[in-house]
Amino acid sequence: MKTLEKKIELPKRSMKENIEKLNVLLSDFQVYYMNLRGLHWNVKGRDFFLLHEKFEEMYTEAGEDVDEIAERILSLGAIPLHTMEDYLANQRIRSIENVSDGRTAVQLLVDNIELLLLQERGILDTASDLDDEGTAALMSDLISRQEKLSWMLKAYLS
Ligand SMILES: [Fe+2]
């Protein structure tokens, strides 16, 4: 049994880089989640009802993604970052503050999502090289959902 466990275990050293990237992605997802909540609260204007509801749908999905990313890190034998201090120290995407205009909000979210997608594609590449199918599958799922979301947000802006 022990031999089998050893065989199915991913090589620890090579996983380190991807675990670090997953923790940065997790930090950015927490910031993205908070950005969506802030926009849900602060958006005003003609599209209030539409955007207020859309942002709620998006933060609900982002909250679930946060959990998936964190639990993937645990599955790889590491500890997911779990303090605000760590998230703020690692964030790459921009925090969105005091935005109430709908179009500005959507444009900023498109920018956020583009940075998340860049990271997800990077992690997917490394995970594929390492035969880390679980991480690759998670990234593929995130990428396809966020590419669709990005298309829809851009359609709103056009
Ligand atoms: Fe609400």
Q: Residue 56 C-alpha to ligand 1 middle, in angstroms? A: 7
In order, the DSSP letters of 49-82 are: HHHHHHHHHHHHHHHHHHHHHHHHHHHTT-----
The pTM (predicted TM-score) of the whole model is 0.91
**What is the rounded distance in angstroms from the CA atom of residue 48 to the CA atom of residue 40?**
9
Per-residue pLDDT reduced to its tens digit, 96-151: 999 999 999 999 999 999 999 999 999 999 999 988 999 999 999 999 999 999 99
**Superfamily classification of domain 16-157:** Ferritin, core subunit, four-helix bundle (1.20.1260.10)
Q: Residue 77 C-alpha to ligand 1 middle, in angstroms? A: 35
Please give the angle made by the CA atoms of 95, 96 and 97, to the nearest 5 degrees: 115
Q: Residue 156 C-alpha to ligand 1 middle, in angstroms? A: 21
Q: Residue 107 C-alpha to ligand 1 middle, in angstroms? A: 21
Per-residue pLDDT reduced to its tens digit, 2-26: 455 555 566 666 688 899 999 999 9
Determine phi and psi for 10, rounding to 5 degrees. -80, 150
Q: Residue 55 C-alpha to ligand 1 middle, in angstroms? A: 9
